[in-house]
A and B are shown apart, each in its own frame.
Chain A
Amino acid sequence: MSEVAVTPVAMPAKRRMAQLVMLALAVVVIMGAYANVGLAVDGQIPAGMLAYGLGLGGLMLAAYFVLAKFAPWADPLILPLVTLINGLGLVVIYRLEAAGMRGASTNSQIMWTALGVVMFSITLVVVRDHRMLQRLTYTAGAVGLVLLAIPALLPGSLSEVQGAKIWIRIGGFSIQPGEFAKLALVVFFAGYLVAKRDVLALAGRRLLFIDLPRARDLGPVLATWVLSLLVLVFEKDLGTSLLLFGTFIAMLYIATQRTSWVLIGILLFVGGAFLAGQVFDHVGARFDSWLDPANPVYYGNADICQTSPPGDAMCGKSFQIMQGLYGFGAGGILGTGLGQGHPYLIPLSFSDFIFAATGEELGLTGLMALLMLYALLVQRGLRTSLAARDPFSKLLAGGLSFILAWQVFIIVGGVTNLIPLTGLVTPFMSQGGSALLANWILIALLVRMSDAARRPPPQAIQNEGLTQVFQR
Chain B
Amino acid sequence: MNRTLKRAAVACLAMFALLMVNVNIIQAVRAENLQSDSRNQRNFFERYAIERGRITAGGKVIAQSVDTGNKEFRFIRKYPDAKLYAHVTGFFSPESADAIEATENKLLDGSSADLLLRRSIDLFTGEPTRGANVDLTINPKAQKAAYDALRQSGKRGALVALDPKTGGILAMVSLPTYDPTELSGTNKGKVFSRYDELAKEKDQPLLNRAIGQTYAPGSTFKVVTAAAFLEDDSSRGPDTTVEAPQRLPLPNTNISLPNYGGAACGSGQVTLVYALEKSCNTPFGSIGMELGYDKMKEQTEKFGMGEPIAVPMPVAQSDFGKKEDQAAVAMASIGQRSNRMTPLQMAMIAAGIANDGTVMKPYLVNKITDSKGDELDAADPQELTTAVSSETAGKLRDMMVSVVSNGTANLAQVPGVQVAGKTGTAETSDGKPPHAWFISFAPAEDPKVALAVIVESGAASVGAEATGGHTAAPIAKAVLEAVLNK
Interface residues of A (CB under 8 A from B): 41, 99, 250, 253-255, 257, 294, 299, 302, 306, 322, 325-326, 328-333, 341-342, 345, 359, 363-364, 367-368, 371, 374-375, 378-379, 382, 385-386, 391, 394-395, 398, 401-402, 405-406, 408-409, 412-413, 416-418
With a cutoff of 8 Å between Cβ atoms, the chain A residues found around residue B39 in the complex are 299, 302, 322
With a cutoff of 8 Å between Cβ atoms, the chain A residues found around residue B71 in the complex are 41, 99
Interface size class of B (residues with CB under 8 A): 35 or more
Residue of B nearest to A399 (CB): B8
Give Cα distance in the complex from A391 to B35, angstroms: 51
Give Cα distance in the complex from A34 to B184, angstroms: 36
Give Cα distance in the complex from A342 to B37, angstroms: 15
Q: In residues 51-92 of chain B, which contact A (Cβ within 8 Å)?
A: 71-72
Give Cα distance in the complex from A379 to B15, angstroms: 12
Residue of B nearest to A252 (CB): B4
Residue of B nearest to A251 (CB): B8
B31 adjacent to chain A (CB < 8 Å): yes
Given A367-B27, A379-B9, A413-B22; A395-B1 close (CB under 8 Å): yes
- Across the interface, B24 reaches (CB within 8 A) one of A322, A364, A405, namely A364
Verify B42–A342 contact, CB threshold 8 A: yes
Give Cα distance in the complex from A283 to B3, angstroms: 36
Residue of A nearest to B18 (CB): A418
Verify B42–A330 contact, CB threshold 8 A: yes
Residue of B nearest to A336 (CB): B42
Verify B8–A250 contact, CB threshold 8 A: yes
Residue among B13, B34, B35, B41 facing the most chain A CB atoms (10 A cut-off): B34
With a cutoff of 8 Å between Cβ atoms, the chain A residues found around residue B5 in the complex are 254, 382, 385-386, 394, 398
Given A322-B39, A329-B33, A329-B40; A382-B26 close (CB under 8 Å): no
B252 adjacent to chain A (CB < 8 Å): no
Verify A329–B30 contact, CB threshold 8 A: yes
B45 adjacent to chain A (CB < 8 Å): yes
With a cutoff of 8 Å between Cβ atoms, the chain B residues found around residue A255 in the complex are 1, 4
B199 adjacent to chain A (CB < 8 Å): no
Give Cα distance in the complex from A329 to B11, angstroms: 28
Give Cα distance in the complex from A385 to B71, angstroms: 49
Residue of B nearest to A368 (CB): B20
Min CB–CB distance B45 → chain A (angstroms): 6
- Across the interface, A254 reaches (CB within 8 A) one of B4, B23, B31, B32, namely B4
B235 adjacent to chain A (CB < 8 Å): no
Verify A382–B34 contact, CB threshold 8 A: no
Name the 6 nearest CB pairs between A and B, nearest first. A329-B34, A364-B27, A405-B12, A409-B15, A375-B16, A326-B40
B113 adjacent to chain A (CB < 8 Å): no
Min CB–CB distance A142 → chain B (angstroms): 26
Given A250-B11, A332-B31; A416-B19 close (CB under 8 Å): yes
- Across the interface, A409 reaches (CB within 8 A) one of B19, B24, B41, namely B19
A-B contact pairs, 8 of them (CB 8 A): A254-B8, A302-B39, A330-B31, A374-B16, A378-B16, A382-B8, A386-B5, A408-B19
B432 adjacent to chain A (CB < 8 Å): no
Verify A371–B8 contact, CB threshold 8 A: no
- Across the interface, B4 reaches (CB within 8 A) one of A253, A302, A329, A333, namely A253
Give Cα distance in the complex from A181 to B40, angstroms: 39
Give Cα distance in the complex from A379 to B42, angstroms: 38
Given A386-B6, A398-B8; A371-B1 close (CB under 8 Å): no
With a cutoff of 8 Å between Cβ atoms, the chain A residues found around residue B464 in the complex are none
Verify A402–B1 contact, CB threshold 8 A: no
With a cutoff of 8 Å between Cβ atoms, the chain B residues found around residue A379 in the complex are 9, 12
Verify B2–A405 contact, CB threshold 8 A: no
Q: In residues 270-308 of chain B, which contact A (Cβ within 8 Å)?
A: none
Min CB–CB distance B473 → chain A (angstroms): 52
Q: 8 extra interchain contacts, Cβ-Cβ under 8 A, other than A99-B71, A364-B24, A394-B5?
A: A41-B71, A257-B1, A326-B41, A329-B26, A329-B30, A341-B42, A406-B15, A416-B23
Verify B22–A418 contact, CB threshold 8 A: yes
Residue of B nearest to A378 (CB): B12
B28 adjacent to chain A (CB < 8 Å): yes
Verify A326–B12 contact, CB threshold 8 A: no
Residue of B nearest to A355 (CB): B23
- Across the interface, B13 reaches (CB within 8 A) one of A250, A375, A406, namely A375
Give Cα distance in the complex from A445 to B8, angstroms: 19
Judged by DSSP, the binding face of A is: helix
With a cutoff of 8 Å between Cβ atoms, the chain A residues found around residue B37 in the complex are 294, 322, 326, 329
Residue of A nearest to B71 (CB): A99
Verify A413–B18 contact, CB threshold 8 A: yes
Verify A394–B16 contact, CB threshold 8 A: no
Verify B35–A405 contact, CB threshold 8 A: no
With a cutoff of 8 Å between Cβ atoms, the chain B residues found around residue A378 in the complex are 12, 16
Contact with A along B85-125 (1 / 0, CB 8 A): 00000000000000000000000000000000000000000
Give Cα distance in the complex from A386 to B31, angstroms: 40
Give Cα distance in the complex from A364 to B19, angstroms: 12
Residue of A nearest to B36 (CB): A329
Verify B8–A328 contact, CB threshold 8 A: no
With a cutoff of 8 Å between Cβ atoms, the chain A residues found around residue B16 in the complex are 371, 374-375, 378, 405, 408-409
Min CB–CB distance A393 → chain B (angstroms): 10
- Across the interface, A328 reaches (CB within 8 A) one of B7, B11, B18, B26, namely B26
Verify B18–A363 contact, CB threshold 8 A: no
Give Cα distance in the complex from A259 to B20, angstroms: 27
Residue of B nearest to A382 (CB): B9
With a cutoff of 8 Å between Cβ atoms, the chain B residues found around residue A364 in the complex are 23-24, 27-28
Given A328-B23, A363-B27, A374-B16; A402-B8 close (CB under 8 Å): yes
With a cutoff of 8 Å between Cβ atoms, the chain A residues found around residue B30 in the complex are 325, 329
Given A329-B35, A395-B1, A409-B19; A342-B41 close (CB under 8 Å): yes
Give Cα distance in the complex from A409 to B2, angstroms: 23
Give Cα distance in the complex from A345 to B41, angstroms: 8
Verify A326–B20 contact, CB threshold 8 A: no
Min CB–CB distance B74 → chain A (angstroms): 12
Min CB–CB distance A297 → chain B (angstroms): 13
Residue among A302, A345, A374 facing the most chain B CB atoms (10 A cut-off): A345
Residue of B nearest to A319 (CB): B39
With a cutoff of 8 Å between Cβ atoms, the chain B residues found around residue A405 in the complex are 12, 15-16
Residue of B nearest to A405 (CB): B12
Give Cα distance in the complex from A110 to B141, angstroms: 63
Residue among B1, B34, B45 facing the most chain A CB atoms (10 A cut-off): B1
Verify B23–A359 contact, CB threshold 8 A: yes
Verify A254–B1 contact, CB threshold 8 A: yes
Verify A331–B27 contact, CB threshold 8 A: yes
Verify B31–A329 contact, CB threshold 8 A: yes
Residue of A nearest to B17 (CB): A375
Verify A368–B13 contact, CB threshold 8 A: no
Give Cα distance in the complex from A404 to B37, angstroms: 34
With a cutoff of 8 Å between Cβ atoms, the chain A residues found around residue B18 in the complex are 409, 413, 418
With a cutoff of 8 Å between Cβ atoms, the chain A residues found around residue B7 in the complex are 253
With a cutoff of 8 Å between Cβ atoms, the chain B residues found around residue A329 in the complex are 26-27, 30-35, 37, 40
With a cutoff of 8 Å between Cβ atoms, the chain A residues found around residue B12 in the complex are 375, 378-379, 382, 401-402, 405
Give Cα distance in the complex from A1 to B40, angstroms: 82
Verify A359–B34 contact, CB threshold 8 A: no
- Across the interface, B19 reaches (CB within 8 A) one of A363, A371, A395, namely A371
Verify B42–A345 contact, CB threshold 8 A: yes
Give Cα distance in the complex from A249 to B30, angstroms: 35
Verify A333–B28 contact, CB threshold 8 A: yes
Residue of B nearest to A332 (CB): B31
- Across the interface, A386 reaches (CB within 8 A) one of B2, B27, B34, namely B2
Give Cα distance in the complex from A302 to B15, angstroms: 33
Give Cα distance in the complex from A460 to B351, angstroms: 113
Min CB–CB distance A441 → chain B (angstroms): 21
Contact with A along B431-450 (1 / 0, CB 8 A): 00000000000000000000
With a cutoff of 8 Å between Cβ atoms, the chain A residues found around residue B27 in the complex are 328-329, 331-333, 359, 363-364, 367
Verify B28–A253 contact, CB threshold 8 A: no
Give Cα distance in the complex from A249 to B365, angstroms: 73
Min CB–CB distance A304 → chain B (angstroms): 12
Residue among B8, B9, B12, B28 facing the most chain A CB atoms (10 A cut-off): B12
